[in-house]
Amino acid sequence: MIFNIQRYSIHDGKGVRTSIFLKGCPLRCPWCSNPESQSFAKEILFDESRCMEFGDCTSVEDGVFSFSEGRLLMNRKVLADAGHYEETCPSMAISVAGYEKTVEQVLNEIEKDEQFYRLSEGGITLTGGEPFAQDNWILDLVLALKKRGIPVAAETCLHISRKKLSRFIHDISEFLIDLKHVDAEKFRSFTGGNLELVLGNLKFLDHHAVPYRLRIPVIPGFNHSFADMKRIINFSANLKNCRHMDFIPYHNLGESKYRMLGRTYSYAGSRPVDEQELEKYLQYATEKGFTVTTGG
Amino acid sequence: MIQTVQITGLSERIVQIKEKILNSKPSVCTERARHYTDIYQENAGMPVIKKRALAIERTLQRMSIFIGEGELIVGNHSSQLRAAPIFPEYAVQWILDELDEFDKRPGDAFYLTHQHKKELKKICEWWKGKTLIEYGYEKMSAINREIHESGIIRAEGNLTSGDAHIAVNLEKILCVGLDGYLRDVQLHGGLLDLNDPADQKKAIFYEAMIIALKAFQHFIERFARLAIKQASEIPDLGRKTELNQINRNCLKIAHEPPENFYQALQLVYFVQLILQIESNGHSVSLGRLDQYLYPYFRDDLANGKITEEEVLELLENTWLKLLSISKIRPWSHTRYSAGGPLYQNVTIGGQTVDGGDAVNELSYLILESVGLLKLPQPNLSVRYHTNIPEEFLFACTRVIEKGFGMPAFNNDEIVIPSLLQLGVASVDAFNYSAIGCIEIAVPGKWGYRCTGMSFLNLMRVFLAAINDGRDTMTGKTFLHGAGSLSTFSNFDELMKAWKDQIRFFTRKSIEIDATVDTALEELVPDILCSAFVDDCIERGLTIKEGGSRYDFVSGLQVGIANLGNSLAAIKKLVFEERRLQAGELQEHLEKNFEGKDGERIRQLLLNYAPKYGNDDDYVDQLLKDAYSCYIRELDQYHTTRYNRGPIGCRYYAGTSSISANVPSGSVVPATPDGRKAFTPLAEGCSPTSGTDILGPTAVFNSVSKLPTEKIMGGVLLNQKLTPASLRNERDKQKLISIIRTFFTRLKGWHVQYNIVTRDTLLAAKKDPEQYRDLVVRVAGYSAFFTTLSPDMQDDIIARTEHTL
């Protein structure tokens, strides 16, 4: 299941790219800017600011939307299948995150920009969510793209089984690896994940000299300190084939989506990343021999 | 080609001249009107063309001239900076009607003294009943006048102003000098057989040309005398030397070919100026400046006669002179060309006649100088071709980044093959240039108006098609329809109804053009402009009589995206999904989507039907089909020059609709694409504001599906980018790569960029004083944002901003 196909992505790898966003992720990072990417199921995004109270949604008889004293109310608890709400709302106040597409359908979309990939040496970026969580579907897509000569990059948190990962190591032109931390306890308490799995996979890719770069999200209250970053950078410096490090400063552009999903955004009000502090990380990473970029 | 100079900024001199122009209040100059009126009064019985020769002669003899402080390039358009001359022979009623409102306009205001108003009133009273516009309307058939008044077809701009939309043969002027032209006229005049009535007419034209060319020479000599006078009075030795140089330049180029770059540029500017004193037309363009000036530049540089810094300053001075030329138009027409543009186009880059890359050091300097000044004039176009150097495109993106909408790109890869297809000789096709906004012609060999014939409001025609032929604004039926939305039993019937209506109105637009063209030919022939276009002298014919080598024109079709989106919405929601009832839709269109039910319908139309600009074949192909019907219909018609000499004399389509999308929308009721009544239509070939949600590559693909090789009047595409998307070298490279793909692979026709944040525009709207130098791309041209009317400003703000 995917939740977005974004054309002309120019900040996720080389050249002009189309990003395929896959729905569902094993981690639960509270700063996530695409909260609708986390669940593997379809979800309703309800944008109250676009609601004009036409009431078309009340015709779905599960009682999620109803009028009470002339006001439209929403009760998420009784939602059985978000899919019933596809294309119901005239003003698009309700949208459904997540839709099934065949590999063939996605290929059709991808091929529309083929001319643009060619000249700019761009291609496809698989992202999410965690794209490799849907390994069978993804593998079909990757092989189909390989046949057409369109390069595929993949952004991954590496929180997946070695078995799944190893299916891809020959056909992905570049892995964009989200390395969030190297402290197992911090990693577990913030994301709910097992760091050992991530680092093991990272070393596995490194060992097989698979092309990759690291993407380090810079998150206040989590790793936005020189001490934390130093640990991450030092760890990476011990990898054999790690050359490129991209720092992604935290931003709160995803905040409204939490509201639309009926979730609370625990990072509300967080201060943006301190530019000067960020500069120190960049400098340190450069000293350690990395090619460094920011913002993808 | 190596970019050798590192430019740090504008010289003190240029800054001062710029400030002076920006600080001058737009006003009106009555001198030209006075002289033309006098001559017309004194010589009532004289052939029109001779009257006009004497009138330009009198004007050039007597108009006030001045050389501004520090100016290196001289020549003024009227008695003051940014004072618009008046051209009473074209139209006066609007002046009488609007005279007291000029200073109260919401955009493009002009400030007049009491004295000027008094004189203008007197002049205009005399002209009543004698002007072009009145003559034109008189010649129009009753039905065509009704259609014109209804606003479905508009040609008023062509009757209140002259033709222009042309580049004259500057290359030849520099080569043979003005004396060369005089000799040529005399030579051909001597070959006439006065027993032949056609030759008798030519004899008068030759006589008129001699009067006008000599008047032009004397005008240049007046500046020579003024320069020497100022030199003798000024104590500053440096300035004295400059004025002496100006004197020598003018004495030389008044008669002979220029002998260096400086003189060549001065002569180019004088020609540019004189054409805009002779005629009220706009889009007088300079053609391929970097090509015909290059030999002078190269030689002077090699011989140490000039430095690149000096060239830059001269170019900048020239751009400021172009900016100081001013035009006042009726309010009705001003709304079609918001921001007071003159569309004086300069084209650089492209290919040489043998297909090699034509970019040279001068191309870089022109680009640089325009980028440094950030002014709405000249309108800078770059001719793209596949082998254009990456470095040059990079330099272009650095200017684009400054956010004033320049340069725009035209694409050789589609334009040249199309020109060849039309029968244009190879050497000429490879030498085309942009004219005005984005349209193209072969400089010096093409007639007027490669675009800019009448405006056709596609959505009014569409609404008639779904209302049994009834124009919903006026209630009139010009062509009986084939049914209405609620009676069509399938979509094909609707499409057929559209095709019937559009064919009818296409024919009507050509009829109206023919009326306007014959009126222009008879009443306001241009003498100097004709002299400078091949082969008018040889044939003894003005351009309008068929003197030019080539003659292809285009009208302007407004509402392209709205047409496609309306068709798609009806097809999908009414005929396929049946989510909407035809009758229900028709009712809510009439009621402008009022009320909650209406708004619900509108939201469905907006959100559940495919929109042009998202690379969706469903809508893109419908649009192509609907628009192609218009394009094919054009093939049947000719211009008034047919069989009189020029190659072509045909029409093609064009969408370089300047800012017409706003006023054109103001006379269109609600449309099935979810657009509310009287709001703007989409501009040019760009998607409707806010509906292209998949980014620039999808837009490129959509636009490329149109039959662009047949829309030679211009396929206007505006894209708006955020400053962040051009932040670093890598971003610029990505932009270049998609421009290359669009042009080389997809055969795109044109693209231009606005790079300003929405916040900046909002701030400028609120606080115009702080943003008086903010220039934005309006359509095929740029204008000062703060001179635009509020609704035009809103339209610019609304255009989709692609965050990359």
Answer whether A8 sits within 8 Å of B694, measured CB to CB. Answer: yes
Among B599, B698, B740, the residue with its CB nearest the CB of A119 is B740
Answer whether B596 sits within 8 Å of A52, measured CB to CB. Answer: yes
Q: Are residues A137 and A266 in the same domain?
A: yes
Choose the mutation target among A89, A105, A116 for the interface with B, i.e. most B CBs under 10 Å.
Answer: A116
pLDDT attached to residue B551 = 98
SS3 readout for B175-205: HHHHHHHHHHHHHHHCCCCCCCHHHHHHHHH
Question: At A145, which CATH number?
Answer: 3.20.20.70
Q: Are residues A218 and A236 in the same domain?
A: yes
Is a pLDDT exceeding 90 seen at residue B298?
yes
Among B603, B698, B744, the residue with its CB nearest the CB of A90 is B603
The structure tokens listed for B95 are 């002046």
Q: Are residues A32 and A59 in the same domain?
A: no
Is a pLDDT exceeding 60 seen at residue B463?
yes
Q: Are residues A241 and A167 in the same domain?
A: yes
Answer whether B734 sits within 8 Å of A120, measured CB to CB. Answer: yes
- For residue B603, the chain A residues in CB contact (below 8 A) are 52, 54, 90-92
Instruction: Verify cis geometry, omega within 30 degrees of 0, for the bond prior to B378.
Output: yes
Answer whether B745 sits within 8 Å of A119, measured CB to CB. Answer: yes
Among A16, A52, A92, the residue with its CB nearest the CB of B738 is A16
- Concatenate the DSSP letters of all residues of B48-95 into one string: HHHHHHHHHHHHHHHS-----TT-SS---SSSSTTEEE--TTT--HHH
Choose the mutation target among B734, B745, B747 for the interface with A, i.e. most A CBs under 10 Å.
Answer: B734
Answer whether A11 sits within 8 Å of B804, measured CB to CB. Answer: yes
Q: Are residues A175 and A238 in the same domain?
A: yes
Q: Are residues A237 and A152 in the same domain?
A: yes
Query: Tens of pLDDT along A223-275?
Result: 999 999 999 999 999 999 999 999 998 887 778 889 999 999 998 877 778 88
pLDDT attached to residue B8 = 60
Q: What helix, strand, coil percent values describe chain A, rounded to 5?
A: 35, 20, 40
Is a pLDDT exceeding 50 seen at residue B7?
no
If you measure CA to CA, which chain B residue comes closest to A7? B694
Is a pLDDT exceeding 60 seen at residue B803?
no
pLDDT attached to residue B162 = 82
Which residues contact residue B346 at a Cβ distance below 8 angstroms, ignoring those fewer than 6 apart?
B285, B286, B287, B289, B366, B370, B378, B379, B380, B381
Query: Tens of pLDDT along B401-443?
Result: 988 889 999 999 999 999 999 999 999 999 999 999 899 999 9
> In which domain, by residue range, is A85 found?
43-97
Which residue, among A137, A126, A117, has the nearest Cα to A176 in the 3D structure? A126
Query: Tens of pLDDT along B233-263?
Result: 999 999 999 999 999 999 999 999 999 999 9
- For residue B601, the chain A residues in CB contact (below 8 A) are 90
> Rounded distance, CA B667 to CA B660, Å?
11
If you measure CA to CA, which chain A residue comes closest to B597? A54
pLDDT bin (cut points 50, 70, 90) of residue B607 is very high
CA dist list (Å): B654 to B336, B657, B708: 15, 8, 10
Question: At A74, which CATH number?
Answer: 3.30.70.20
Mean pLDDT over B356-362 rounds to: 98
If you measure CA to CA, which chain B residue comes closest to A19? B694
What does DSSP say about strands B153-154 and B455-457: parallel, antiparallel, or unpaired?
A: antiparallel
Q: Does A11 touch chain B (CB under 8 A)?
A: yes
- Concatenate the DSSP letters of all residues of B89-132 into one string: TT--HHHHHHGGGGGG-SSS-----HHHHHHHHHHHHHHTTSSH
Mapping DSSP to helix (H, G, I), strand (E, B) and coil, where does residue A246 land? Answer: strand
B336 close to B663: Cβ distance less than 8 angstroms: yes
B367 close to B399: Cβ distance less than 8 angstroms: yes
- For residue A6, the chain B residues in CB contact (below 8 A) are 695
pLDDT attached to residue B6 = 43
Query: Tens of pLDDT along B699-754?
Result: 999 999 999 999 999 999 988 777 767 878 888 998 999 999 999 999 999 999 98
Q: Does A119 touch chain B (CB under 8 A)?
A: yes
Is a pLDDT exceeding 60 seen at residue B664?
yes
Query: Tens of pLDDT along B506-526?
Result: 999 999 999 999 999 999 999
Residue type, B505: F
Among A10, A56, A118, the residue with its CB nearest the CB of B804 is A10
Is a pLDDT exceeding 80 seen at residue B224?
yes
Q: Are residues A35 and A81 in the same domain?
A: no
Q: Are residues A148 and A58 in the same domain?
A: no
Q: Does A67 touch chain B (CB under 8 A)?
A: no
Answer whether A87 sits within 8 Å of B608, measured CB to CB. Answer: yes
Query: Tens of pLDDT along B9-56?
Result: 899 999 999 999 988 889 999 999 999 999 999 999 999 999 999 999
Is a pLDDT exceeding 60 seen at residue B802?
no
**CA-angle at B366, arms to B364 and B368, nearest 5°:** 65
Q: Are residues A283 and A139 in the same domain?
A: yes
Count Cβ atoms within 10 A of the Cβ of residue A221 and give its class: 0-12 exposed, 13-18 middle, 19 or more buried: middle
Mean pLDDT over B467-484 rounds to: 96
pLDDT bin (cut points 50, 70, 90) of residue A23 is very high
Which residue, among B639, B481, B101, has the nearest Cα to B328 in the 3D structure? B101
Is a pLDDT exceeding 50 seen at residue B386?
yes
CA B556 to chain centre: 11
A/B interface, count of CB pairs below 8 Å: 72
Mean pLDDT over B149-174 rounds to: 94
Among A87, A90, A119, the residue with its CB nearest the CB of B741 is A119
Q: Are residues A223 and A246 in the same domain?
A: yes
Among B603, B695, B734, the residue with its CB nearest the CB of A7 is B695
Query: Tens of pLDDT along B69-102?
Result: 999 999 999 999 999 999 999 999 999 999 999 9
SS3 readout for B322-381: HHHCCCCCCHHHHHHHCCCCCCCEEEEECECCCCCECCCHHHHHHHHHHHHHCCCCCEEE
B551 close to B641: Cβ distance less than 8 angstroms: yes
Answer whether A92 sits within 8 Å of B607, measured CB to CB. Answer: yes
Is a pLDDT exceeding 50 seen at residue B5?
no
Among A8, A56, A112, the residue with its CB nearest the CB of B804 is A8
Q: Are residues A133 and A209 in the same domain?
A: yes
> Rounded distance, CA B477 to CA A189, Å?
74
Min Cα separation A197/chain B (Å):
34
Answer whether A8 sits within 8 Å of B731, measured CB to CB. Answer: no
Q: Does A90 touch chain B (CB under 8 A)?
A: yes
Among A16, A54, A112, the residue with its CB nearest the CB of B734 is A16
What average pLDDT is seen over chain A?
Answer: 94
Q: Does A231 touch chain B (CB under 8 A)?
A: no
pLDDT bin (cut points 50, 70, 90) of residue B804 is very low
Min Cα separation A267/chain B (Å):
24
ipTM for the predicted complex comes to 0.94
What does DSSP say about strands B408-411 and A291-294: parallel, antiparallel, or unpaired?
A: unpaired
pLDDT bin (cut points 50, 70, 90) of residue B498 is very high
Q: Are residues A22 and A70 in the same domain?
A: no
pTM of the model: 0.93
Answer whether A116 sits within 8 Å of B741, measured CB to CB. Answer: yes
Number of separate domains in chain A? 2
Answer whether B734 sits within 8 Å of A10, measured CB to CB. Answer: yes
Residue type, B698: A
Mean pLDDT over A188-203 rounds to: 98
Is a pLDDT exceeding 70 seen at residue B4?
no
What average pLDDT is seen over chain B?
Answer: 93
- For residue A8, the chain B residues in CB contact (below 8 A) are 694-698, 738, 802, 804
Q: Does A291 touch chain B (CB under 8 A)?
A: no
Q: Does B804 touch chain A (CB under 8 A)?
A: yes
B613-652 residues touching A, CB cutoff 8 A: 615
More confident call, B784 vs A233: A233
Answer whether B615 sits within 8 Å of A116, measured CB to CB. Answer: no
